[in-house]
Chain A
Amino acid sequence: MVKGLSGRKKPAEEPVLPKVTICIAQDGDEVYFRYVRNKKIQNLLTLYCKEKNIDYRSVEFLFNGKRIATGRNANQLGMVDGDQIDVMTHNIGGG
């Protein structure tokens, strides 16, 4: 009984890994993701780029105006549900 309970619990816990709803916004276009908190955000972003067919290097991902460092996860960034990541394209200018 106890075993069974615990056995039932285990598979139940795995999908209830702490997740956060993140909005990735680019030029007014918003895409929402539910993403695991302690996984690298970078993976999500590369996935996004693949989906959107854009070069990962050609854009900048900003969270609250700050560039998202590679290797950080949502917990480290202090993300909560509904937080938004801005996708900004790089600019050059010469006059």
Chain B
Amino acid sequence: MGAFTNNRKRRDDYYKSLGPPIDQSYGNIAKKPKLSIFTNQNQNQNTVEHHRPASSNSVVARISQYPERKSGFGREVHAPVRNSRFGKFSSSAKNTETAASSEESPSDKMGRFGFHFLLRKFKKAKDAAVGSLRYVSHGKQKGKEVIEIDSEDDKQDNVSDDSGVDEAEIVEDYNGSKSRGGRRGVEKLREPNVRTVEKELRSFDSSVVTDVSGIAKVDDEEKNGLMQFDQVEVDSGVPYYKRLLDGSKKRDIRLASLSFDIEVNHKRRRWFDLFRPQEKEENIKKNVAEECFVPLTEEDAKKVNSALSNSNRRKVLVTHQSSNIDIVGEKLQCLKPRAWLNDEVINLYFELLKEREKREPQKFLKCHFFNTFFYKKVCSFGKGGYNFQSVRRWTSQRKLGYSLLECDKIFVPIHKEVHWCLAVINKRDHKFQYLDSLKGVDTQVTSVLARYFVDEIKDKCGKCIDVDSWEHEAVMNLPEQENGFDCGMFMIKYADFYSRDIGLRFSQEHMPYFRLRTANEILKLRAE
């Protein structure tokens, strides 16, 4: 082999030294035709006798990988042609096909086959074969591709809420063009085009202009597809029943894709439906929420201002009989701007919230409000920071008039050195929630409350409840405190809004108003 290459090299050099007039292909041709003949013969033996359909398929498949031929040789082939050598092979279409396979190889650039009539014949056969083959393979690919597209769409829909409407428009266009295509009955060739259209739409941010142009493109290509289809039918001469069978198969794929589309659109509709009832609910809740922001009357504002003045520091302003809480002016001054809230105000406010709920039980959730000392008591001086016995008698039926099991929500204010936060035993939603206006997280609190709640129900109602499946949630989606003094206000307002069963629709800017409102409610001993 090495010797051969050496020789060839030398020969090349030799030809080069001779100059251009002598055709180099002449030297090569001595070997290569023989080789090609040899392979042809082999193939003939194999294909004709044994695996005729399979091999023809494979050959055509291989052909289909090459770019479609536009015409024959662009230029005339300058090479010696020995017709007699190939004459015996040129008789059957099979042979021309196999010859064509070798014809596509690079060595053919040398132009060994100059017989145009053979080429033309071959070209016809090849076009027919390739056309039909490509057609089928396209269909298969399309089916897969369409599924991928739709699944992509689905994912996008689920993920991106914002672009939901735009997506829907695109989908409608897509469906519209699709149904049009369905009437024409040539959808398989069109579908990848739709895909490109969709791509365009996405890339251009779903503008109408690109949409229209895309569909126009689609139509053009559909026509092409139709023409191609007709040609194939004429040329191949496939039996009529086979054509019908093919047609019905094509429809199968289309039906599958359509049913998938239907499914996707159904899902999409359900997804959109999710928004509607929520909006209605929100509207109702909005009315309730408006009650939370009723400005104080001038009279009330005056009273509050005088109560917060320094002249009332020592004076007992109000006494809450049932909870025995006296509020002196000094204590109420914690409701002045920038002041830190103390536990007496918080406890009294929670008492008022409870009274409010008793007054209008249909308007508010059934809640229980623990005082600010409860959590400290329950988690101190016990095994593992938990002591049920110390708070066992805090919630006797005789004292409360209800059991905690009846309550939808149980509010537990948590005091952390200098910070107020709120824990909620949300029985209705089966959650233990932790609300911190500074977005702190404390899993200890919720786990202690879970233990307490189980023990409490066991002790008072004699029932064993399973709270293992209840979610322990540190609520993150809440109004945030933006300073170092409003956490108490945030805490009592979380409780207020939660007991109304509305979203926490307030923010830092409402805090000055809430301070005045709370002071007013405490002075009146009536929370609204």
Q: Which residues from chain A sit less than 8 Å from chain B, CB to CB? A: 27-28, 60, 62, 64-70, 84, 86, 88, 90-95
- Closest-by-CB residue of B relative to A71 is B324
**Which of B150-158, B238-246, B414-422 makes up part of the contact surface?**
B414-422
Which of the residues A60, A92, A95 comes within 8 Å of B334, measured between beta carbons? A92
**Hey, what's the 0/1 contact readout for B382-393 against A, CB within 8 Å counting as 1?**
000000001101
B339 proximity list for chain A (CB < 8 A): 94
- A residues less than 8 Å from B233 (CB atoms): none
Q: Which of B325, B344, B417 contacts A93 (CB 8 A)?
A: B417
B394→A65 contact, CB < 8 A: yes
B487 at the interface (CB under 8 A from A): yes
Bound-complex Cα distance A84 to B389 (A) = 11
Given contacts A64-B394, A92-B334, 8 further A-B contacts (CB under 8 A): A27-B380, A27-B381, A60-B373, A88-B377, A90-B343, A93-B417, A93-B419, A94-B419
Count residues of B near A (Cβ-Cβ below 8 Å).
Answer: 42
The 8 Å CB contact of B488, one of A28, A64, A84, A94, is A94
- Residue interface bits B151-171, CB-to-A below 8 A is 1, else 0: 000000000000000000000
Q: Mark B369-383, 1 if CB is under 8 A from A, else 0.
A: 011111011001100
A86 to B481, CA, bound (A): 32
Q: Which of A60, A65, A68, A94 contacts B485 (CB 8 A)?
A: A94
Residues of A within 8 A of B341 (CB): 92-94
A66's partner among B324, B390, B420, B437 (CB-CB below 8 A) is B324
Contacts A95-B418, A95-B438 given; indicate if A69 touches B324 (C-beta within 8 A).
yes
Q: Are A94 and B417 in contact (CB under 8 A)?
A: no
The contact sample of 30 A-B pairs, CB cut-off 8 A, is A27-B380, A27-B381, A28-B381, A60-B344, A64-B394, A64-B396, A64-B399, A65-B370, A65-B371, A65-B373, A65-B391, A65-B394, A65-B395, A66-B324, A67-B325, A69-B324, A84-B390, A88-B373, A90-B343, A91-B342, A91-B415, A92-B341, A92-B342, A92-B488, A93-B487, A94-B340, A95-B437, A95-B438, A95-B481, A95-B484
Least Cβ distance of A17 to chain B in Å?
26
Report the separation of the CA atoms of residues A92 and B343 in the bound assembly, to the nearest whole angstrom. Answer: 6
Which residues in A have their C-beta under 8 angstroms from that of B325?
67
Cα–Cα, bound, A66→B369 (Å): 12
Q: Is B483 an interface residue (CB 8 A)?
A: yes
Residue of A nearest to B377 (CB): A86
Partner among A28, A62, A88, A94 whose Cβ is within 8 Å of the Cβ of B418? A94
CB–CB B394/A28 < 8 A: no
Tell whether A93 pairs with B394 under 8 Å between CB atoms, given A65-B374, A86-B377. no
